[in-house]
Structure formats: structure tokens, C-alpha cells
Amino acid sequence: MEKSILENFLHDNLGELKSKGLFNVIDPLESANGPIIRISGLDLINLSSNNYLGLATDSRLKAAAIEAIDKFGVGAGAVRTINGTLKLHVQLEERISRFKHTEAAIVFQSGFNCNMGAISAVMDKNDAILSDELNHASIIDGCRLSRAAIIAYKHSDMTDLRLKAKEVKESGMYKKIMVITDGVFSMDGDIAKLPEIVDIAEEFDIITYVDDAHGSGVLGEGAGTVKHFGLSNKIDFQIGTLSKALGVIGGYVAGKKDLIEWLKVRSRPFLFSTALTPGDAAASIKAIEILSNSTELQKKLWDNGDYLKRGLKTLGFNIGASQTPITPCIIGDESLTQEFSKRLYKNGVYAKSITFPTVPKGTGRVRNMPTAAHTKEMLDKALSIYEQIGKEMNLI
Ligand SMILES: *Cc1c(COP(=O)(O)O)cnc(C)c1O
């Protein structure tokens, strides 16, 4: 029988990915996503999660979720604007705004949803968005959804941003202009130059939007990159996720009261997708409570990050120029990088390879995400495996 158009499409495209070694095989975990994970019966040191503070398995968060499930059930039952808003969602939003030093906050079901909803609620086809070329996929999609003109500027290049901001402003073609950046860039661990971005935004009357998925819980005593630079009253949209350092799931915007009110009547995932579950909301409240009361977990995270970086550097690896605990180990050649990651895996370290097109050609790397939950012993073990494989492959 003749193949359908869809069957042909899938056959050809899957075949191409597989033949190029670009088909991603997913390894299901047989354990929680903690510092040690179990895959296919093997225990591995986990250097691949975004669970920066180890909160995904924290007993206090688990207890809060269980209590909330007992009281409110497993689902919120409706979208936020019908009757899916539980007291827990309101408490969570209040907690977030206090933690972020803003007037208000709105919670979404994920960080991805948040970018889908927030950008297009404010920007439209008469507007322009200046976007860092390395911004996260959800920002790119959120920008597209708004139908605004998208103007990418070179990664963290403030001369380029200023030039483009000036051009866009002086063209007189756009009603509103917005600049969007990740707070921390997850591939290299570098921090956005927010003070300069704010200066440029003020000069050209530009709305500011910072997606701090990788900075929240990590920088600024946990409150994120904006707080790190003391700019809490200068950034219009502070986006964060509850899914990474906070260990649960969800996304949010923190900002002025009017902005949040507008998002609550105009952002489509808030209006048309069911609210965060009670367990997730309660666990997130607990996570923010923990971060608000102590910087112990951040300190542990940064200590572990520094320890791993120093170790890899001493062994002779190129660890790039990360400013955060994210620690790339840059191998260069794509297939060598994949081989390196595979051998780490076989010897007990789970650190994913990241290659072109996610990062530029020739900068393939194994990316390490140390967390507060790793012990020195785990990191030492990982380093000794790095040393062994690095030597075997003549990389160091
Ligand atoms: C991970 C990430 C997201 C998505 O967050 P989820 O809560 O996992 O959907 C959005 N933006 C950035 C910059 C991210 O790194």
C-alpha cells in the first residue's frame, strides 16, 4: 500500500536525524531526579538537572504537597478565571511578589506558558521586540505569537543593542518597543548585562522583560538576576520559573500591579488552561518560604559550583567563562563531545552533551549542573571519572 504524506514525512525526517546521529534518545529515570539517579539499573552522579537547590526531593516540599493534596485534591478543576483559583494560588502569588520585591505577581502552569502568555498580552503587530540572539526557545515562540517585529541583537552585545534600539525608535514605525533577555544564559552560564540594558531602555523608552529561569534561586540571594543588580524597580517584566531552582513546576511574572491585572485578563494560558495543581502550588509556596528565610542552599550550590569548576580547570579542561554554577566542559568537535559524554555515562557520570545547533559549531560541550544536594564525595568521584576519560581520549 502507498504511504501517506505524513508517513513519508516522518520516515524521511526521522531517518535523516538518525543517520546524522542527531536523534535524541530519552533515558527514563528509575529514581527521583536527585544528585544520584538510576537509569537502566545503574546509579549515576547526576550533573544534568536544573534542580539547583535540591528542592525537587526536599522533604519539606513533599510534606507541603501531600497536605495540599489531602485538603484540595490533585487537580485545580478549572482555569484560573472560572473557579480554578484556589487560596493557594493567591498565597503563592503574594509570596512571589514579596520575594521579588514587586507589587504583584501572576502564576502560570510553566515558564514556557508564561512566555507564551505574557509577551503577546502586551505586544502586537504594531510593535517591535529587541531579542538577544541566544534567548530561550519559549521567548522566541512567545515573540512570534505576538506578531510584533522581532529584531535579534548579538549576544549580550550592548553596542549592537543600542544601535538597533536607536534605529527602531527613530524609524517611527512602532508603537511600543520591548527588549527581552534571559537573566542567565543556560549554555554558557553567563549573566545578562542588565544595568546597560536598563540604561538603553530608559534612553529610548523601551519596555524591559527579563526571563530569569536560570537566575531565580541562584543569584541575588535567591531572588534572581534583577535583584543581584539592584534593579527590582527598573525591570517591567520579571519572569521566573518554579520548575528549576524551586524544584516544582510553573512559571510567573512579577511586576507592577497594573501589569499583573492586565495579564490576568489577557494572557491566554491563564484564561484557557487549567490552573497549577494544589500540590504544585503548595510545594512552590514552601520553596519560596525556604529561600526567603535562608541563603544556606544558595551558598552550598555556589560552593559546589566553584569546587567543580576548580577541579575541571585543574585537570586541564576548558570550562568557558561561566559566571554561575553552570559549568560547561568545552570539547569542541561534535562527535568527540558525544563520545566523551557517552563514556562518562558508562563510567558513572550523567552529563549531557550539547552540540550544534544548540551551541555554535565547534563548541560542543558537556554541560555540568552541580546542585546544593551534591556532596564533595560525589563531586570528587565525578572529577576522577572526568580525569580518567579525559586521559583515555587524549583531551587533557
Ligand atoms: C527552562 C526555561 C523556560 C521554561 O521553563 P519551564 O518552567 O520549564 O517551562 C523558560 N525560559 C527560560 C529562559 C528557561 O531556561
Could you tell me the residue ranges of all domains in the chain?
19-48+295-393, 59-293
Cell for 236?
517591567
Q: Is the CB of residue 77 less than 8 Å from the CB of residue 274?
A: yes
**pLDDT, averaged across the chain:** 96
Nearest to 349 by CA among 327, 321, 324: 327
Q: 170 CA to middle of ligand 1, Å?
A: 33
Of ligand 1's listed atoms, the one at least distance from the Cα of 212 is: 13
Q: Which CATH superfamily is 19-48+295-393 part of?
A: Aspartate Aminotransferase, domain 1 (3.90.1150.10)
List the end-to-end C-alpha distance of the chain, in Å, as a whole number: 55
Which uninterrupted H or E stretch holds 43?
Answer: strand 42-46
> Rounded mean pLDDT of 300-306?
97
Burial of residue 46 (number of CB atoms within 10 Å: 0-12, 13-18, 19+): buried
Nearest to 343 by CA among 303, 296, 395: 395
3-state class (DSSP) for residue 255: strand
192 phi and psi, to 5 degrees? -65, 150
How far apart, in whole angstroms, are the C-alpha atoms of residue 135 and residue 212? 11
Has this prediction a pTM greater than 0.85? Answer: yes
Within 13 Å and on the Cβ side, how many CA atoms surround 189? Answer: 25
Give SS3 for 222: helix
244 is catalytic: yes
Please work out whether the CB of residue 109 comes within 6 Å of at least one atom of ligand 1.
no
- pLDDT tens column, 216-253: 999 999 999 999 999 999 999 999 999 999 999 999 99
Let me know if domain 59-293 sits in CATH 2.40.110.10. no
Q: In angstroms, how far is CA 373 from the centroid of its own chain?
A: 19
Pocket test for ligand 1, best of 182, 188, 238, 244 (most atoms within 8 A of CB): 244
- 252 in Cβ contact with 117 (< 8 Å): no
360 band by pLDDT with thresholds 50, 70 and 90: confident
Least confident range of 55-59, 91-95, 178-182, 354-358 = 354-358
Probe residue for ligand 1, chosen from 96, 112, 113 as the CB with the greatest number of ligand atoms within 8 Å: 112
317-330 mean pLDDT: 96
Q: How far apart are CA 288 and CA 36, in angstroms?
A: 24
Q: How many angstroms does the Cα of residue 275 sit away from the middle of ligand 1? A: 18
